[in-house]
Structure 1
Amino acid sequence: MLNSELQLKLKEQKILPILNTTTLSNDIDRLSKYLEKNRSIRYIEVTLRENQSFDIALELQKHFTKHKFGLGSVLTKEDFIKGQDHNFNFFVSPGIVDEVLEINNLLYIPGAETVSEFIYLYKKGYKIIKFFPANLNGEQKKLQSIENILKDIKFIPTGGVNKDNINKYLDLKNVLCVGASNFEEF
C-alpha cells in the first residue's frame, strides 16, 4: 500500500539511510557529510530509540529542507499520529504494530521476519515490508527462496547490511532497497 512516489524514490536511491540519533549537532554533521557525497539520497529514516529522537527528527526536517524524513522504530499508534501531525513523510516499524496497520496508511512500512508474517501483512494490503533483522533470519538466501512464491511483495532488508552483501540484496527482484544505519559505508 506504500505511496507509489515513495516506492519509486526508494528503489532509485537503493539505500535507505537509518539515523539512530545522538545529538542534534552530531546528527546534522553526520548527515551533511553523507548527503554531500550522496546527492541522489532524498529519503532518510530517523529512529525513535532515544528520548530526544523525535525532537531531533523535527530539527533535521527543518535543516535539510530538500530531503524527506521518515520515523523509524514506530511502536505505537501514538508515535504514528504524532509523526503525521508533524508532517513526516513515511513511517517504519521493526515488527507488526496492529494498531498502526488498522489506520491503513499509504506511508507505513511494517517489519516482519517470517513467511507467515509476510503473508499476514500481504493479506492486510501491505506489499512493502521491512525484513528485520535480516542478518539473523536467512539474509538474501531467505528472500531469494521466496521471491517466486510471494511475487507481489517488495522488501527492505535491514540489519547486517554491509559492503560484502549489499549487492546480493539489491540484485534480488523482491528487494526495493536496503536499510542501513551504517550508511556511510556505501
Structure 2
Amino acid sequence: MDSVSSLMDGQVLLPIIQVDNEHDGVAIAKAMHAAGLKTVEVVLRSEQSAKALSAIKAELPEMIVSAGTIVDEASLNVALEAGADFIVTPAVTEKLLSKLTQCGKPVIPGVSTVADIVLAREHGFRELKLFPAALSGGAGFLKAVGGLFKDTKFCPTGGISQDNYQDYLSLNNVFAIGGTWVAKTDWVVNQEWQKITDACAKVKA
C-alpha cells in the first residue's frame, strides 16, 4: 500500500476543506487545484461534507481527496463509502487503530503525546498527524521526538498559519503541514476563490 507522503508526491501543504455543501466543496477544491495542488483533505463532520468529498472526486478525478475527522468505525465507513483516497484521524485508540489497519487505505493517525506515537507505531504506522499541533508542543515537540522516533514522519495540523508554517517544514521529520488558513470562511462565504488559490500558491512556492 502506498504511504500518504508518496501519494502527496512532494506536496508539502495538505489544505483542509470544511464545508456543508457540495458546491462550495468543489469550488474550493478547484481553487486549490488552480494553485497546483493535487491533494486535499475534506473534514467529515456532516452528511453533506461526505457528499462534498464525493462531488470533488467526480469533478476532479485527478485529485487525491482524503477524509478527515475520522473518530470511529461509523465515520470510517462513511469516508470509505464517499470514496476517500486516504484517512486522517484527530486521535488514536486501540479500537480505532485496529479498524484503521484493516480499512485498505493509507492512514495518518492523529497523535498529541509521546504515548500516542508509541501506540500508533505499535500498529505499524510511521506517518502521523500531530494534532492540535500548536497546543501539543508545536515545532519544539516535533524536534524533541525526532531523535526518539527516527523512522517516523509527521503532518502537523492545528494552529498552523502563514506566519509559522515554515517552522514546521524546516524539520526533517515533517513531510507536510495541514491547514485551514488557506480557505478562510469569509472567502468561501464571499466566493473569493482567487484568494484561496493565492494563499495555496504562497505555501507551494
- TM-score w.r.t. the length of structure 2 is 0.81
Identity of aligned residues (%): 25
Q: 1 CA distance for matches of 2:51 and 2:17?
A: 13
Secondary structure of residue in 1 paired with 2:8: helix
Q: 2 CA distance for matches of 1:30 and 1:48?
A: 15
User: 2:179 corresponds to which residue?
Assistant: 180
Unaligned runs of 5+ in 2: 183-195
Match status 1:43 vs 2:39: yes
User: 1:20 corresponds to which residue?
Assistant: 18
Which protein is richer in helix relative to its size? 2
Unaligned runs of 5+ in 1: none
What one-letter code is carried by the residue in structure 2 that aligns with 1:31? A
RMSD across aligned positions (CA): 1.8
**In structure 2, which of residues 72, 93, 111 is the aligned counterpart of residue 76 of structure 1?**
72
Q: 2 CA distance for matches of 1:69 and 1:179?
A: 13
Secondary structure of residue in 2 paired with 1:119: helix
User: 2:48 corresponds to which residue?
Assistant: 52
What one-letter code is carried by the residue in structure 2 that aligns with 1:12? G
* Residue pair 2:67, 2:87 contacting (<8 A) in 1 also: yes
User: 1:144 corresponds to which residue?
Assistant: 143
User: 2:187 corresponds to which residue?
Assistant: none
Secondary structure of residue in 2 paired with 1:99: helix
Q: 2 CA distance for matches of 1:170 and 1:45?
A: 18
What one-letter code is carried by the residue in structure 2 that aligns with 1:96? V
Secondary structure of residue in 2 paired with 1:52: helix
Q: 2 CA distance for matches of 1:54 and 1:98?
A: 25
User: 2:192 corresponds to which residue?
Assistant: none
Distance 1:87 1:129, change over 3 A: same
Match status 1:66 vs 2:62: yes
Tell me how far 1:115 sits from its aligned partner. 0.7
Tell me how far 1:148 sits from its aligned partner. 1.0
Tell me how far 1:172 sits from its aligned partner. 0.5
Match status 1:127 vs 2:123: no
Tell me how far 1:141 sits from its aligned partner. 0.7
Tell me how far 1:86 sits from its aligned partner. 4.1
Match status 1:96 vs 2:92: yes
Distance 1:84 1:49, change over 3 A: closer
- TM-score w.r.t. the length of structure 1 is 0.89
* Residue pair 1:18, 1:47 contacting (<8 A) in 2 also: yes
